[in-house]
Chain A
Amino acid sequence: MDKIQILLIVVSVLFVLFVLQLTRKKKLREGYSLIWFFLGLILLFFSVFRGIIDPLAAFVGIKVAPFIIIPFLIFVTFLLGMHFSIIISKLAEENKKLIQEVALLKNRIEKLEMEKESKI
């Protein structure tokens, strides 16, 4: 095991622990932590079994093994971006509903108060 591998393993473990800690402290929702948790585990897996990289690259037809990281990263980035777009869309829809409900309720309260005043 050389220095870089030890460094990678340490960083991966720290990353997984960081995700766990965030989730534990409820700064990150369980549902949203999964994707980061998996990413951390994948990093850890490849840091420990780095021998896998060469045959994997050869298998998909990449001549210089480290370059396999580029399509992988692009893919993960796209996936994460999509993931957040979906979450934002959902939040925006919920937000719209809340805004409408609050406005309707305020309107109703105004009317009830006016009715009450006119009775007194």
Chain B
Amino acid sequence: MRVLIIVPAFNEEGNIKTVITNIREISKDFDIVVINDCSKDKTEYIARSLKVNVISLPMNLGIGGAVQAGFKYAYENNYDIAIQVDGDGQHNPKYIKKLIFPLKKGDADVVNGSRFIDKKGFQSNFFRRLGIRFFQLLINILVRCNITDSTSGFRSYNAKAIELLKDNYPIDFPEPEAIIFLKKRQFRIIEVPVQMESRVAGISSISVFKSIYYMIKVSVSIIIEFVRSNNG
């Protein structure tokens, strides 16, 4: 099975080297593609010096657009599995194999890495956890699926999911919305426990002021995605 690791990166010059090195330490069998989302720092230079495949977006698209470019690449190059591992170092590559395993067995179409099953590692702050709880409830009510960490981008997708998402992936804060989108189309989503790290260098793309906007936007998107027709 051909496995592609999609590493979206926006201004991650301080983290990208560690991320790539850590992935390579896990296994040499995985192909890596860094999606450089028009970083203003040395992210692209560092990635290229590591001899890793880099797709450089000519304009900044945001995490959704960057990951979607990765899906398109995975689809065009016939990968069986794609995994998103963020370039900020929050996703520990040692869980990649755990994320792939259910896909290889054919038990799921999408595997979501959740930091709230074992409750170990970086747990985010109280307000974020509250927000994630709220999304969990909302998703549970709408599509009857228990996703404890819907904001996690640490996910693996099989070819069927890649094919669908390459043309349908929300541009900003895409993770919770994608769950609804996939679940409505009878995709099997399961969660496995992972640990996340608090970011090592740089600043998170979601600031405190953005949090309220984030909550409202994602809630509205989830509900709109739910009422949207499957063909649209």
Chain A positions near chain B (C-beta within 8 angstroms): 92, 95-96, 99-100, 102-104, 106-107
User: Given A104-B69, A104-B76, are A99 and B55 neighbors across the interface (CB < 8 Å)?
Assistant: no
B54 touching A99, Cβ below 8 Å:
no
Q: Are A99 and B58 in contact (CB under 8 A)?
A: yes
Asked if A107 and B54 sit within 8 Å, CB to CB, the answer is yes
- Whether A107 contacts B61 by the Cβ 8 Å rule is no
If A100-B65, A103-B69 are given as contacts, then 14 extra A-B residue pairs at C-beta distance below 8 Å, sorted by A number, are: A96-B61, A96-B65, A99-B57, A99-B61, A99-B65, A100-B68, A100-B72, A103-B55, A103-B57, A104-B76, A106-B55, A106-B56, A107-B54, A107-B56
Task: Give every chain A residue within 8 A of B57 (Cβ-Cβ).
Answer: 99-100, 103
Return the chain A residue nearest B38 by Cβ: A99
Residues of B within 8 A of A92 (CB): 171
Closest to A105 in B: B55
B124 interface residue per 8 A CB criterion: no
B226 lies within 8 A of chain A by Cβ = no
A selection of 22 A-B contacts at a CB cut-off of 8 Å is A92-B171, A95-B59, A96-B65, A96-B68, A96-B171, A99-B57, A99-B59, A99-B61, A99-B65, A99-B69, A100-B61, A100-B65, A100-B68, A103-B35, A103-B56, A103-B57, A104-B55, A104-B72, A104-B73, A106-B55, A106-B58, A107-B55
Interface of A is mostly: helix
Q: Please, what's the 1-or-0 string for B29-65, where 1 marks a CB less than 8 Å from any CB in chain A?
A: 0000001000000000000000001111111010001
- Contact-residue bracket for chain B: 10 to 19
- A-B residue pairs, 9 tightest by C-beta: A100-B69, A107-B55, A103-B57, A103-B55, A99-B59, A96-B65, A99-B57, A102-B58, A103-B69
Cα A106 to Cα B59 in complex, Å, equals: 13
Q: How far is the CA of A107 from the CA of B55 in the complex (A)?
A: 6
- By CB atoms of chain B within 10 A, which of A96, A103, A106 has the most? A103
Smallest CB–CB gap between B201 and chain A, Å?
Answer: 25
Which B residue's beta carbon lies closest to that of A111?
Answer: B53
Give A108 Cβ to nearest chain B Cβ, in Å: 9
Selected from B58, B76, B171, the residue in CB contact (under 8 A) with A103 is B58
Q: How far is the CA of A95 from the CA of B57 in the complex (A)?
A: 12
What is the distance, in angstroms, from A96's C-beta to the closest C-beta of chain B? 5
* Chain A: CB-nearest residue to B36: A103
- Residues in A neighbouring B54, C-beta threshold 8 A: 107
The chain A residue with its CB closest to the CB of B59 is: A99
Residues of B within 8 A of A95 (CB): 59
One digit per residue, 1 when the CB lies within 8 angstroms of any chain A CB and 0 when it does not, for chain B 127-159 equals: 000000000000000000000000000000000
Q: Chain A nearest CB: distance from B163 CB in Å? A: 15
- Determine the distance from Cα of A103 to Cα of B68 in the docked complex, in whole angstroms: 12
Q: How far apart are the CA atoms of A107 and B53 in the complex, in Å?
A: 8
Chain A residue numbers with a CB within 8 Å of B72 are: 100, 104
CB neighbours (8 Å) of A96 from chain B are 61, 65, 68, 171
